[in-house]
Structure 1
Amino acid sequence: MHPLDALDAAAHLAATDPAAAISSLPWLSASLADDAAAGRFARWGRSSVIDENVGAAVLPRPLFDELHARAGLEAAWPVGNAGVLHVYGYLLSTTPTPYGLKRERWLTDDLALACGLSRGAFSPWAGSGTLLSRVTVAAASLLSRPDAIDESVEGRSTRIALGDALPDGTTALAYAVDGLIVTTFPVADAAVLRSGLGAPRLRWNAV
């Protein structure tokens, strides 16, 4: 079975049997175990599974719980580890959003290319190291840019970093709260995003 077909099957199975769904993808169960053993989730902040664009959970609660258990982390629904949710959870999300499925950032090359990486750099089942390890390095590099936007939200520090635009205008964004990564995704037009930021607040489902 093609890896994408296997991912589709696992995403649908996850709604009723999340343990079996994760186990059906050897690369996913191995990645979660490897990242947990290496302590990589500690570099990620907290996020709500309730998406601000759709107003609903993008993952079912049993899957939320199973992913955190595999990662060796405690989490109280609907708030969990952003690395668990945004990297691995999004791969199994079937909830449509105005920007498509959450997993597309890992399955297409837009974000990888905008980060200055090669095509397939964020392939979940290929490459050197786990997907989380690769994403963490890319997001941290973006967040180290001197032109990142720093904000203060009720005493908490946040940082929005935008990379250099590709010829088609696509830009990579990374976001952190209190020095911990929350998310990274491709942006079609950085100027439009900047102009629409408004007053400082926690963004992109950060908690």
Structure 2
Amino acid sequence: MVSAVSELARLTRAAHLAADGTAAGARAALDALPWLVSAIRDDHDADRFAAWGRSTAIDENTGTAVIPRALFEEVHARAGVAADWPIGNAGVLHCYGYLLSLEPTPYGLKRERWIESTLARACRLPPDAFHPWREAPTLLTRATAAASALLASPAAGTTQAVDGRETRLALGATRGPSALAYAVAPHAGAAPLLITMFPVADASIALTDFRAAPRLHWNAA
């Protein structure tokens, strides 16, 4: 049985390897986590990153990079996805890059949505449903399924046009704690692609704030 405590410790050590900002550190960080390398390879082979849109590695709350550029480039290279710093694939960044982020944000570390149980419970899933070190299916597969289900049948949500691009917000509840999923069309006339998924403390506030600010949210690009 996999120990979450042990795996989290390994993940933290790998994040510190990547934090030096070098290409060697980025490679060492990924190689220290065989399950992560395997998941990225599996998702690449199955073309799963295509379901996700574009995201910036510069956090909109802090104005700083969520992960070092060298790690950004290494993880995209292993995923076989073209990227031009700081704009990359949202699935690569939000599911895998965030795991190795040590950058503080007003909401804690980016990886906490996958490590802790809040999001899983909000999706009515077992508390370890998004633990990234679990055996197949990959974290990206599990996140894609949960976010897609929420966008298909939200308890509350709305759409907005931003520069002609359709954006969709979906929430798992009308008020109180909820899962949030967000998708953005890559260009006018295209179907929205997944950008992110995370828990919120109050769905009604998240919906009100979203409607009040018709722009790209949550590091979408």
If the length of structure 1 is used for normalisation, what is the TM-score? 0.95
2:202 paired residue number: 189
1:199 paired residue number: 213
Give 1:3's match in structure 2, choosing from 7, 10, 13: 7
CA offset at residue 127 of structure 1?
Answer: 4.5
CA offset at residue 192 of structure 1?
Answer: 1.6
Q: How does 1:1-207 map to 2 (within 5 A)?
A: 2-16=6-20, 17-145=25-153, 147-164=156-173, 169-178=176-185, 179-197=192-210, 198-207=212-221
| 4+ aligned runs moved over 3 Å, structure 1 | none
Distance in 2 between residues matched to 1:154 and 1:195, nearest whole Å: 20
* Letter of the 1:150 counterpart: T
Q: Percent identity?
A: 57
The answer to whether the 8 Å contact 2:117/2:128 transfers is yes
Unaligned regions of 5+ residues in structure 2, if any? 186-191
1:149 match: secondary structure: strand
Distance in 2 between residues matched to 1:61 and 1:128, nearest whole Å: 28
Q: Deviations over 1:42-79 (max 9, x none)?
A: 00000000000001111000000000000001100000
Q: Deviations over 1:110-149 (max 9, x none)?
A: 0011011111000100154100000000000011126431
Unaligned regions of 5+ residues in structure 1, if any? none
RMSD (CA atoms):
1.4
Distance in 2 between residues matched to 1:145 and 1:152, nearest whole Å: 20
The answer to whether the 8 Å contact 1:43/1:180 transfers is yes
Q: Deviations over 1:88-108 (max 9, x none)?
A: 000000000000000000000
2:50 match: secondary structure: helix
CA offset at residue 164 of structure 1?
Answer: 2.5
Distance in 2 between residues matched to 1:176 and 1:132, nearest whole Å: 15
* Letter of the 2:33 counterpart: L
2:55 match: secondary structure: strand
1:100 match: secondary structure: coil
Distance in 2 between residues matched to 1:13 and 1:53, nearest whole Å: 25
